[in-house]
Amino acid sequence: MTARTLRDLCAIEGLKVGTFVCEFNSPGIGYILKNGGCDYVFLDMEHSGFDVATLKTLLRYFEAAQLPAFVRPAGKDYYAMARALDVGAEGLILPMVASADEARAIVDMTKYEPMGSRGVALSIAHDHYQPGDVMEKLSDANSRTTIFPLIETADGIANVEEIAAVDGVDGLWLGHFDLSCSLGIPGQFDHPDFIDGVARTVAAAKRHGKKLGRVVANVEEGAAEYANGFDFIAVSGDCWLLQSAMTQASSELRSKCEGIDHG
């Protein structure tokens, strides 16, 4: 896939493969994931130790590898969202969006005039420190900025149709663990209430022409969710992928070496 922006990816039909980044801020992480087949990354600030300074550095690593990044801020207040965008986030995944009013407020806070009320700072990280016409820069930023509310609460499911209909919302991201907890069925992803919530989210996104994303644990789950209608599939995450690969390698090595006599 040759697309280089989240906006490009949203315009493409078919599977977009990514992964969840919450642990590693190595300078090589962008190239490692890009050369591993990722089309994008989900960069998390909610459950990681990443602060804004770390985020700003990480985004440069991903830009160098031409790997677009969604950022989940630690919250959805104005300053959490605006600072993530100002340091160069192309798109935001916003936690626990529960209503259309909340989605509209998010769009307003993340878009510049005339689409919203985001505070203006130009010729900084988000526009690559380039000079230029003010209105062109505002328009470019509005076009570039991609918004995915996280549907991960019972209220979010109840209002998912209205959330998906909000102008400026580009897609919906399913938060499966939090959704199961909010529904009172922690971790029961085969429970009828959870299955119904997912089905309502998929239907709302399809009805309003919005993209769908979620994190999956493995390839088999990813293929099943792609068949279910999700096109942004984030396969596991940085620390879990490393641990899984190491677990498999160490187990296989121990098995192959068992019984070998060194004399």
Q: Which candidate, 186, 227, 217, places its Cα nearest to that of 20?
A: 217
Task: Classify residue 183: in a domain, yes or no.
Answer: yes
The number of folded domains in the chain is: 1
With vertex at residue 107, the alpha carbon angle to CA 22 and CA 123, rounded to the nearest 5 degrees, is 75
* pLDDT by position in tens, the chain (length 263): 455 899 999 999 999 999 999 999 999 999 999 999 999 999 999 999 999 999 999 999 999 999 999 999 999 999 999 999 999 999 999 999 999 999 999 999 999 999 999 999 999 999 999 999 999 999 999 999 999 999 999 999 999 999 999 999 999 999 999 999 999 999 999 999 999 999 999 999 999 999 999 999 999 999 999 999 999 999 999 999 999 999 999 999 999 999 898 86
Residue 125 domain boundaries:
14-257
Contact between residue 73 and residue 81 where contact means Cβ atoms under 8 Å apart? yes
Looking at the chain, how many residues does it have?
263
> From the DSSP assignment, how many helices (H) and strands (E) are in the chain?
12, 8
Task: Classify residue 7: in a domain, yes or no.
Answer: no
Q: Which amino acid is located at 227 in the chain? A: A
Query: Which member of 47, 126, 176, 262 is catalytic?
Result: 47
Q: Which amino acid is located at 182 in the chain? A: S
- Known catalytic residue at 47: yes
**Which pLDDT score is estimated for 63?**
96
**Which pLDDT score is estimated for 1?**
44
Nearest-angstrom CA–CA distance, 229 and 250: 36
Task: Classify residue 262: in a domain, yes or no.
Answer: no
What CATH number should be reported for the domain holding residue 120? Answer: 3.20.20.60
Nearest-angstrom CA–CA distance, 29 and 221: 24
